[in-house]
Homo-oligomer: A and B are copies of this chain.
Amino acid sequence: MIDDSARTQAYRHAILTNYPLFYGKTVLDVGCGTGILSVFCCLAGARRVYAVDASGAAKFARAVAAENGYSDRIRVLQCRAEEAELPEQVDVIVSEWMGHALLYESMLDSVLVARDRWLRPGGALFPERAVLKMALCTAPELALETGGAQFWRGVYDRYKVRMTCLAEVEERRRWSDLPARVCALLPEELHSHAATVCDLNLHTVRAEELRELRAPAVELQSFGRAQLTGLALWFDVHFPGGDELSTSPYVTETHWGQTVLPLEPVNVDQDSTVQCPMVMRPDPKHPRNWRFSVDLAVGDGDSRTIQWVMDGTG
């Protein structure tokens, strides 16, 4: 993840330019990994950083702290953030907790527990706000996949066996139950401005609210005539002082990419209104999987409910 410059430089810039919030202060780094955010906090003058990670990366964080001369200021704790025992409240929590579509396999729950337990009143959060966006899109990869049907039609030419019956199956299957998937969209593949699906104030949001996120009034206007094949999701997070890290298709690509909820192709005219109120929640059976449900209505047409699962395979 360190290789993701857009991500790492956004944190670096936000931390260093906010050095008054760090200088002489105490910091908790939730899910520190190899500890680069902790080192940024020391560079900004932090007196003490508690760097917490449950994985074996904790020992690398310790080595990195030492190599940078901060063994005395960075205290690495290998445990779950929920189980960390600190000797004091902290002035700042830094964490890179975001997942695809913001919340898929995200660590936000751990950050909220740490916030409620260890952040002193009035303390700062890096980031402090997270916004999930949605826009209409054409995902070219999806168009390519419909080649599956074409493939079956071509089997006769190759092997003299007819398999057109499978092309029909392929087409029926193709557009039902396609999983959400991570793509790198180009700006020209977007066909609307982005609407806000949710806007989380990380100082106040509660873990229970993340169990079901409802966006009842999402409405998108198509830029022009287009064939839509998906709804694109991405997020921005905001740091104190105005810095932000965006995963939008309009800025430098990050490892998060964008998340596309594939649609059976639908044609829209210029300025068509597309209503797409959405509900997001973890799958009750497989809580690591995330479920999206949208009541899609194009123009004056009736709405139909479409569901997707995000299971890491898309």
Contacts and interface: CB of A to CB of B under 8 A. Distances in A.
Interface of A: 2-3, 5, 8-9, 12, 34, 36, 39-40, 43, 60, 63-64, 66-68, 151, 155, 158-166, 169
A67 B163 contact: yes
Nearest to A164: B67
Contacts of A166: 34, 60, 63-64
Contacts of A43: 160-161
A283 B299 CA distance: 58
Given A63-B165, A66-B165, A158 B40 contact: no
- Majority SS of interface residues in chain A? helix
How many copies of this chain?
Answer: 2
A164 B160 CA distance: 59
A9 B67 contact: no
A40 B39 CA distance: 65
Given A3-B151, A151-B3, A163 B9 contact: no
B165 A67 contact: yes
Given A60-B169, A169-B60, A163 B34 contact: yes
Contacts of A163: 2, 34, 36, 64, 67
A279 B80 CA distance: 40
Contacts of A151: 3
Given A2-B155, A64-B166, A166-B64, A40 B161 contact: yes
A36 B159 contact: yes
A67 B163 CA distance: 7
A310 B164 CA distance: 36
Given A2-B159, A34-B166, A40-B161, 5 more contacts: A2-B155, A9-B158, A43-B160, A63-B166, A63-B169
A143 to B, nearest CB: 19
Contacts of A36: 155, 159, 161, 163
